[in-house]
Copies of this chain bind each other. A is one copy, B any other.
Amino acid sequence: MTTLVFGHKSPDTDSTGSPIIWAWYLNEVKGQEAEAVLLGEPNTEAAFMLERWDLPKPRIITNVDDDQPCIVVDTNNPAELPTNINGADVRGIIDHHKLVGGLETKGPIDIRIEPLACTATIMYKMIDKDMAQAPTWVKGAMLTCILSDTLAFRSPTTTQEDEAIAWGLAKDLDLDPHAYADEMFAAKSDVSAFSDAELIRMDSKEYEVGGTKFRVSVLETTAPATVLERKDSLMASMADVAKEDDVDQVLLFVVDILNEEATLLVPNDLVKGVVEKSFGASVAGDTVVLPGVMSRKKQIIPNLAV
């Protein structure tokens, strides 16, 4: 049976590109039948990657059958995976997030989780010498994933390995990584087509802190003004999204990639308290700027306090 390779729901660039890269490796190098699939529509940056490297958009699936062979990439969190993931036959996990617990496998499997910025970086290391066989589009997808997850080396999640591998790929592809990243971020920053609720859910993860359930949403953009001019309707939408998704509060961080800071929307006293406790910032008005904050994983989640 063909092995399905997929990342998390609401696929970003790494969760779109990494399955494509790994399916190539399994099919072309390892001689194993594999298909990259998506758990939803790719975001605008991921869509840009598909177009830029002439990649067909993977099929979108909504669930997995019992005993379906699967390889999960860019997450190990059952909440971000199909409902029936523990009924499927998960044969591999390649990820760079903390171990959440809850995912089970039917047999001994291949798991590789490393504290790097990007799944594609881990895949590059695993593919190793066989990268010599990689076509241009595999290298292009890898580079795009790494530049996306590191915000072009600005994010504090960036490691020397991510950076060195990205520069090597860029050299092979004869691309200036910073100029290419600007194109990517421009694509990601065009959010005009999305509703407020879609923007809030686009890059969002649920966390519970001290009994309060948060949906922590991040919007990485080179044009924060185009998001912030919608702040009133975004704040109105946050309450609806929270109710629909059964969380207590949405936190929406608008990350300014170029200026390396985040603006958090502060719709109420709960969020105001969270800002003060988590980031030691004082709030006046309905937004607060957090200098240097770019990474949910490294800077937001570890500090979150109620």
- Residues of chain A at the chain B interface (Cβ within 8 Å): 86, 90, 93, 96-115, 297, 302
Distance A76 CA – B208 CA, assembled complex (angstroms): 24
Shortest Cβ distance from A117 into B: residue: B108
- Cβ B99 vs Cβ A103 within 8 A: yes
Asked if A108 contacts B101 (CB within 8 A), the reply is no
Question: By CB atoms of chain B within 10 A, which of A104, A109, A111 has the most?
Answer: A111
Is A107 within 8 A of B98, CB to CB?
yes
How many protomers of this protein does the assembly include?
Answer: 2
Task: Say how far A56's CB is from chain B's closest CB, in angstroms.
Answer: 31
Interface of A is mostly: loop
The answer to whether A101 touches B102 (Cβ under 8 A) is yes
Specify which chain B residues have a CB less than 8 angstroms from the CB of A96 in the assembled complex: 108
Which residue on chain B has the smallest CB distance to residue A101? B104
A302 proximity list for chain B (CB < 8 A): 107
| Contact status B108-A111, CB under 8 Å | no
Q: Give every chain B residue within 8 A of A111 (Cβ-Cβ).
A: 99, 111-114
Determine how close the nearest CB of chain B comes to the CB of A181; give it in whole angstroms: 22
**Cβ contact within 8 Å between B112 and A112:** yes
- Measured CB to CB, the closest approach of chain B to A100, in angstroms, equals 6
Q: Which of chain B's residues have a CB closer than 8 A to the CB of A104?
A: 98-101
Shortest A205–chain B CB gap in Å is 14
Query: B113 contacts A109, CB within 8 Å?
Result: yes
A75 smallest CB distance to B (angstroms): 12
Can you offer 15 A-B residue contacts whose CB atoms are under 8 A? A96-B108, A98-B104, A98-B108, A99-B105, A99-B109, A101-B102, A102-B102, A107-B115, A108-B113, A109-B113, A110-B113, A110-B115, A111-B114, A112-B112, A112-B113
Q: Considering the chains assembled together, what is the distance between the CA atoms of A111 and B92 in angstroms?
A: 12
Contact A106 B110 (CB under 8 A): no
* A85 CB to nearest B CB, Å: 11
* Complex Cα gap A18–B302 (Å): 31
